[in-house]
Structure 1
């Protein structure tokens, strides 16, 4: 498979919804939500990339690191890389509908499995979207993590129970989905959660629980106090609140406040293996990748998803060797330096 061919096909299949830009930074698609863009001015989308660009990697080649170990264990699953496919739904109104919801999520879950990692499935304005993800995960031996929107407690508990029945690796809730425009337009009530409500949901399942959409240190500790097994530092791809900071901007303070309390994942703006390594050096245990996986699925199906994940892994390996990093499980912040002017 060739990257150029994959991207060209994706551009054709996503016409009118995603331009498959040379640099996926949200400038061209600003305000296109629904669609693939960021909310409002698109500043929160672009902030994810600029926050990563604010850091450079210190190159070191006089060291004893001869091989880079990219393997991690998350929620009892051994993964070949600290890179997971992020939860995404809304193929019809966000991506043009050339693929069905069922086919799209199956490609994401299959492609991630082929690359030796796991994918997440999401919840959306059509409740059938969540069911499609559970089916795909169950068919592949539970190799996936479903993420539920912050719906009413009883509804969310039922969805968590369905996930457990499907044998998933973990479950989660993207609490920042409380502000999703599409959910409001489609009449699907969502709202913020109190600490007590979150603890009730964590206690309703025996599975590891992820809280996605954490952007402050105090909310990271609220999530862990509620019993969460992990958090995802994320501004929802810039799709819920205009003018929010980028994930890499807030990750260091969150890691300082909550490191060791559970898994810390980071989501937003990952476009290369170097970006992955930056997030790890800033305090994440692993990262999520979203929009590039859409290009992979539409451009090459499950194989396209696996191809792009393996490309990120290869770039990560090269960056590790050139910074003297032996393992993704122990990445020193010393490999980073602020970009000029930061």
Structure 2
């Protein structure tokens, strides 16, 4: 399988729910929720991509880095690179039924496993969504993280227990899903959580707990106070609130506050290995990839997901070699050049 074939296959199957644009920037699909786009004007989706584009890489070629280290350990799992598949569900209403929920979850987790990394599973209004993800976790012998919507406390804890039984490596709540239109349309209420409620959920499990959807330093500190083993800096792909900043804009301030106390992950606009390196330089320890891997799953199943992830690792290594970066665990922010601060304008 090659990249062009994968993309053409995905474009045909997605039937306009995703145009599989040559560069995924949220313009063609703005306002398409349900669908693959960003909510409202689409500005939050676009902000993620634009924020990364403002950061360039300083090329350095006089150094002794020859074999960059890309592997690391997160939540007890060894990863070949600091990249994970983001939790995604809703094939029926977001992807036009291009593939089943079971095939989507299996493709994301099995493809991640083939590429030496790990994927997350999501939750949704249809019970088959979470159940399909749990089945995929069992199929990969626990190489998956279960992310649950911010439902009622008892419902969340029940789903945590299901994830534990499936052997999940970690669990979490995507608190950035508090305003999801698709959940409301399906009669599944979700909403914000208080610090007390987060503590109660986290104390209900011995697994590492991740809070996804942190966009301010204050809430990052609250997540640490609640006991989170990790946070994901994310605006839910721009799908819940219009006019938010991009993840790469807020990440440095968040990482500065809590990186020494919890694992910091970033999710927003990653399209290639250079983007991965940029977010590591801005303070993330690993990144999540969403829409590109959904296209991989639709266009090529597990092999399609693995193909895209392996390409990303090749790009990451190349970017590390050309910025004198020896280890993904120690990325110097000085490798970044901020376009808007340059004398060239």
TM-score range, shorter chain: over 0.9
Shift of 1:341: 5.1
2:63 aligned with 1:83, yes or no?
A: no
2:90 aligned with 1:95, yes or no?
A: no
Shift of 1:2: 1.1
Shift of 1:189: 1.1
Cross-structure match for 1:65: 65
Shift of 1:139: 1.7
Cross-structure match for 1:244: 244
Shift of 1:228: 0.3
Cross-structure match for 2:105: 105
Cross-structure match for 2:8: 8
What's the CA shift string for 1:247-273, capped at 9, x where partnerless?
A: 001000001111211100000100010
Q: TM-score, normalised by structure 2?
A: 0.98
Cross-structure match for 1:191: 191
2:298 aligned with 1:298, yes or no?
A: yes
Cross-structure match for 1:211: 211
Counterparts of 1:23 and 1:279 in 2: how far apart (Å)? Answer: 19
Counterparts of 1:99 and 1:21 in 2: how far apart (Å)? Answer: 19
Please give the root-mean-square deviation of Cα atoms over the aligned residues, in Å. Answer: 0.8
* Range with greater deviation from structure 2 (107-116 or 120-129): 120-129
2:12 aligned with 1:22, yes or no?
A: no
The within-5 A match list for 1:39-54 is 39-54=39-54
Counterparts of 2:259 and 2:299 in 1: how far apart (Å)? Answer: 38
4+ runs of 1 displaced by more than 2 Å?
none
Counterparts of 1:49 and 1:74 in 2: how far apart (Å)? Answer: 25
Cross-structure match for 1:126: 126
SS of match in other structure, 2:257: helix
Work out the number of aligned pairs and report it: 342
Q: TM-score, normalised by structure 1?
A: 0.99
Counterparts of 1:341 and 1:185 in 2: how far apart (Å)? Answer: 43
What's the CA shift string for 1:254-298, capped at 9, x where partnerless?
A: 011112111000001000100000000000000000000011011
Shift of 1:340: 3.8
The within-5 A match list for 1:142-181 is 142-181=142-181
What's the CA shift string for 1:204-257, capped at 9, x where partnerless?
A: 000000000000000001001000000000000000000011100100000111
What's the CA shift string for 1:49-108, capped at 9, x where partnerless?
A: 011011110000100101111001000100001000000000000001021101111011
Structure 1's unaligned 5+ residue stretches are none
Shift of 1:15: 1.2
Counterparts of 1:29 and 1:331 in 2: how far apart (Å)? Answer: 34
Counterparts of 2:253 and 2:80 in 1: how far apart (Å)? Answer: 28
Counterparts of 1:99 and 1:3 in 2: how far apart (Å)? Answer: 19
